[in-house]
Amino acid sequence: MSGVGKLCAAGFLALSPLLAGAASAQQNELRILQEGERNTLFVDQSDAAESTVGGLGSPRSGLSTSPEGSALTGPALALPSRLDLSPFRSPDALQIGSDNTARVDDDGTGNRIVLQQVGRPNGGANEATIAVNSGGSQAAARSMDMDVEPALATEFLQGGGSNTAFALQNGNGNSADVNIDGTGSLGGLAQQGSGNTAALAVIGSGISGVGVQIGDDNDLGLVVQGTAGSDVSFTQIGNGITNAAAPSIVTNGATVVITQQSFAQ
């Protein structure tokens, strides 16, 4: 493992007990920058190999911002132009502000994970969980009362890797839960505002599922399942947007783009 960090006195970084002894052979990498007070990060790469945890600016992230930070590019990924990506250009995983908490679990090979929590002035208290190839997607889907397609449910049991996962939080009091099980898939959540809650489960190989929240106090639960080439994005723009039930999208290599907008902004 290689790590670079600037940890504040009150910050806390926890690594899996097995990580230190196995990291060099597994070629895992962790880059973390904490600035503020009472920030907490737990990372478990003990069952991973060639795992990367860092920021958008890392050359190993598989994602990149445009020079002005207004666009994010990557495999099968398109995010709305109203999403400000300029705070996320660091090569390090970020916890900026106070009382941010995050957990990362990687059980696969060659997965790339981006975690960046940026609290606004005198704020923070963002929460994020990212689990890749740990079987968490199936559990997350069922917690949202969604069925898992039988053919896809077995994929996480067969191992996987080369996935890209991200959680980007710019604001205060946001909660993001990202789960991916498969191979060569992408899943991520981006939150710009405060008090947003989102959960994403991506189940399958070679697929993409992305959720974006721009505004305050929005609630999103999303399950994405499909065959290779499926590309799903779900965007909420406004304040106080909720759904009676978490949408579950099953596609056969199709592109699905959904936008919910509140007129009371």
For range 211-240, the mean pLDDT: 93
Judged against a pLDDT cut of 60, whether residue 73 lies above it is answered with no
pLDDT at 210 over 70: yes
pTM to 2 decimals? 0.84
SS (H, E, C) the chain: CECCCCCCCCCEEEECCCHHHHHHHHCCEECEEEEEECCEEEEECCCCECCEEECCCCCCCCCEECCCCCCEECCCCCCCCCCCCHHHCCCCEEEEEECCEEEEEECCECCEEEEEEECCCCCECCEEEEEECCCHHHHHHHHCCCCCCHHHHCHHHHCCECCEEEEEEECCCCEEEEEEECCCCEEEEEEECCCCEEEEEEECCCCEEEEEEECCCCEEEEEEEECCCCEEEEEEECCCCCCCCCCEEEECCCEEEEEEECCCC
At residue 25 the predicted structure's pLDDT band, cuts being 50, 70 and 90, is very low
* pLDDT for residue 129: 94
